[in-house]
Chain A
Amino acid sequence: MLSRVAESIYWMSRYIERAENVARFIDVNLNLMLDLPVGSTQQWLPLVDTAGDHEEFTRRYGSDTPQDVIQFLTFDADNPNSILSCLRAARENARSVREIISSEMWEQLNKFYLIVTSAVTKPAVLADPHEFFSAVKMSSHLFVGVTEGTMTHGEGWNFIRLGRVLERADKTSRILDVKYFILLPTVAHVGTTFDDLQWAAVLRSASAFEMYRKTHGRIHPRRVVEFLLLNAEFPRAIHFCLTASRECTHAISGTPVGLFRNPAEQLLAQLCAELAYAQVDDIVESGLHEYLDGLQANMNQVSAHVAETFFDARMAPPVARKRKEINP
């Protein structure tokens, strides 16, 4: 597969996943705000933190009303991580690899793009935001499903999956970090309905609420952290995502799992081993924030290694094998 194509297909997938995550954050927060006790302050800024653009937001908007935050994260064309910008970037990337992905995938992405771009000019969207954000999430799921069902599970498919799970791991780590940081100081609320709601919201932000219930039942902060960080079976848990990333890099390079042939495979193996044997109590006691910070730095490093291994053609061009002379 062409290096340029691999890179485009990988980013196409990352941007779609990113758009889905932003939609989920907003949707969950909208729901949560409705349940807040009257008089408590609405918490919208953490969403901006989760998307990692705090400075940009305060510089350009000044205030932080829910409308501002939603506008910034959804339709702001100048915010490179807004849903609109993600869809534009995903579609631009898809356009440049249209012959690699299936027609059905292109068609689905194109529909997705039209849902978002046509919503920009409709004020009705913010009047009934739930419907819009649900459509965004569902469009992303459909894209993943269409990809599963219509594209050969070969190299290109593995780059798509790699982009998706790396992006997802990054977003789950941010949800966990931001929410944990904000929720912990509210000691007064521990054990109250409000506390329960907040942690349920954290889970819902990662579509993890129902699956968590099935595994752990009662909501308990440490169990939530454990579920989102260390679970090997839940598809949005960081451990699951990094294991999947590892499988993808091995499928692409053809190296047997257990060995490594490039820095991406090496680092992923280390991270997976660490998450497989870590104890949540140790992590929380030595500082979850510090732990997640380190993990995020490592995941960024994985992305950098993926780029230099597969996307940058640094190798010298080959010298042709001897062939018999041909007259032009």
Chain B
Amino acid sequence: MKFQSYRAGAFFDEMFGENDTPRAIAKTLVNIIQSLPDGELLRRQQSAERTLLQLGITFNVYGDSAGTEKIFPFDLLPRIVSAAEWTWIERGLKQRITALNLFINDIYHDQKIIKDKVVPEEIIRSAKSFREQCVGLTPPLGIWCHICGTDLVRHRDGQIYVLEDNLRCPSGVSYVIENRQVMKRTFPQVFEASRIRPVGEYPSRLRDMLESLASPDVETPRVVVLTPGTYNSAYFEHSFLAQQMGVELVEGRDLVVSDGFVWMRTTKGFERVDVIYRRIDDDFIDPKAFRPDSALGVAGLMEAYKAGHVALANAPGTGVADDKVVYAYVPKIVKYYLNQEIIIPNVPTYVCADPKEQEYVLEHLDELVVKAANESGGYGMLVGPHATKELRAEFATRVRANPRNYIAQPTLSLSQVPTIVDGHFEGRHVDLRPYILYGKSIFVLPGGLTRVALKKGSLVVNSSQGGGSKDTWVLSDDPDAVHESAVVAEPAVTTGAMQS
């Protein structure tokens, strides 16, 4: 398999630049692949897939009773990010999470940003993820969002945008670590020849961060990961992280709140729990405080949390900044709290709650991507140019009925990476989700989950919708003349949405 017949086409290609010549960052890899004997790359791809199957690296698909467990498809060709571009991304992500945390804290305390009319009160009041129960609370270290996975995309013009902030329970980091393991097994000589930053330290960093949240009088804090159970789509990740951190993976039924503290049931009696990395949504963590019908949570957990007897990551209430309508205001939020211009721009966003913008959205449904404010995983989404007339009409009705719940964005031409399809290379669209940890300091994992839409022309990269993944290589130093791809320019796509 060779690149001779590969054409980048009309899209931004992460591996090939002008005239289909390899970018400087990809030269080493392209040379090695070109020098492989015929069939060798395909053989390695199959060997990588076999490894993933044997490792049982799978995810569960909701609503699919036949085989609920699937292998997350993996493609051998990585996405490569230059050191210069990564430095810029890292700065942008740190800025964003700092501002978002200040925002959440403000929303649950003085609401200055509302009083100063930067964010409309109505949007916060109507946000499903706003938690009345958290008003006035200050979480450990004063930080609400400790673990964040931010989705980045690159448009045809080369500019990188933030597509979504995932502040609740972002998943996928386990695939980043496992994908790297598989890549090192199948492609050792590439790792010898390139300087690729490692990603294996994530579990230690996560554990350190979680321990730092424990009440200061606990000498050796007990950290646990709280999972909804084996039927959750991200169960593999929950157990993977618990194992790699060397902490217990617990379900709600393993925990009990007594005398204001949280305990877990063990073979030798009850033991105290100090920090919970919970992978259960706010709604379900405590039937006493939130949904009373939840069987996944722990009754009384919020009381123990409020008393400072247990730390929760992320803090309950964090989701308010994950609302897709709030997303539209992030550039203003950054400006308001940090007095800085936003480093990585937002994708221009139309807020349907605004009558003018709603009108625009309804008139341009065939060009736009419409998203429900509180959905994730690619559900509740309309990709206008690829949708049927009927589906567009259905979304128009939905938007009119509940404008607060919808936003719209121009359909981006996501950048592509060569991908092995039926024994040859074809460009497939990708996004990138880096992972950020925020404890006493902010850590951005050098890499991230590159999700790839395996269907030709598709822009939906979610694993539940037929997406796969690639390894992401962040170079520790750049070959000469790499700066071509480190775009730090003004966003090329603009809209009235944010200027209104």
Write the residues of chain A forming the contact surface with B, with a CB cutoff of 8 angstroms.
Answer: 1-6, 92, 95-100, 103, 106-107, 110-111, 114, 155, 252, 310-311, 313, 315, 317-320, 323-324, 326-328
Contacts and interface: CB of A to CB of B under 8 A. Distances in A.
A317 B256 contact: yes
A4 B251 CA distance: 9
Contact of A110 (B56, B251, B260): B56
Given A326-B309, A328-B308, A2 B264 contact: yes
Given A3-B266, A3-B267, A107-B56, A326 B308 contact: yes
Contacts of A99: 225, 239-240, 242-243, 247-249
B217 A326 contact: yes
Contacts of A315: 269-270
A4 B254 contact: yes
B258 A317 contact: yes
A98 B243 contact: yes
Given A4-B254, A324-B217, A328-B308, A110 B265 contact: no
20 contacts: A1-B266, A2-B250, A2-B266, A95-B230, A96-B239, A98-B240, A98-B243, A98-B249, A103-B55, A114-B53, A311-B267, A313-B270, A318-B258, A318-B259, A319-B258, A319-B259, A320-B259, A320-B272, A328-B137, A328-B138
B215 interface: yes
B337 interface: no
B307 interface: yes
B258 A328 contact: no
Nearest to B69: A95
Interface in B213-247: 215-217, 225, 229-230, 235-236, 239-240, 242-243, 247
Contacts of A3: 254, 265-267
Nearest to B241: A99
Nearest to B224: A2
Interface of B, helix, strand, loop or mixed by DSSP = mixed
Interface of B: 53-56, 137-138, 215-217, 225, 229-230, 235-236, 239-240, 242-243, 247-251, 253-254, 256, 258-261, 263-270, 272, 305-309
A118 B100 CA distance: 49
Nearest to A102: B243
B54 A111 contact: yes
Nearest to A106: B56
A180 B305 CA distance: 63
Contacts, number: 100
Contacts of B247: 99
A328 B239 CA distance: 29
Contacts of B137: 328
A99 B224 CA distance: 12
Contacts of B242: 99
A319 B263 CA distance: 10
A3 B255 CA distance: 11
Contacts of B258: 317-320
A1 to B, nearest CB: 5
A34 to B, nearest CB: 35
Given A155-B267, A310-B267, 20 more contacts: A2-B266, A3-B254, A4-B254, A95-B235, A96-B230, A96-B239, A99-B242, A99-B247, A100-B243, A103-B55, A106-B55, A107-B54, A111-B54, A315-B269, A317-B258, A320-B260, A320-B272, A326-B217, A328-B137, A328-B306
B220 to A, nearest CB: 15
A2 B265 contact: yes
Contacts of A4: 251, 253-254, 265
Contact of A6 (B217, B256, B267): B267
Nearest to A155: B267
Contacts of B309: 320, 326
Contact of B54 (A100, A110, A313): A110
A183 B65 CA distance: 46
Contact of A92 (B138, B215, B230): B230
Contacts of A114: 53-54
Nearest to B227: A96
Interface centre among A97, A111, A313 (most CB of B within 10 A): A313
Contacts of B250: 2
A111 B260 CA distance: 45
Nearest to A252: B267
A320 B261 contact: yes
B80 to A, nearest CB: 28
A326 B260 CA distance: 12
A98 B239 CA distance: 6
B57 to A, nearest CB: 10
B270 A317 contact: yes
A326 B215 contact: yes
B243 A107 contact: no
A318 B267 contact: no
Contacts of A96: 229-230, 239
A252 B256 CA distance: 23
B159 to A, nearest CB: 40
A74 to B, nearest CB: 21
A296 B112 CA distance: 72
A139 to B, nearest CB: 13
A175 B31 CA distance: 63
A99 B248 CA distance: 8
A327 B308 contact: yes
A99 B249 CA distance: 7
Contacts of B268: 1
A310 to B, nearest CB: 5
Interface centre among B137, B256, B306 (most CB of A within 10 A): B256
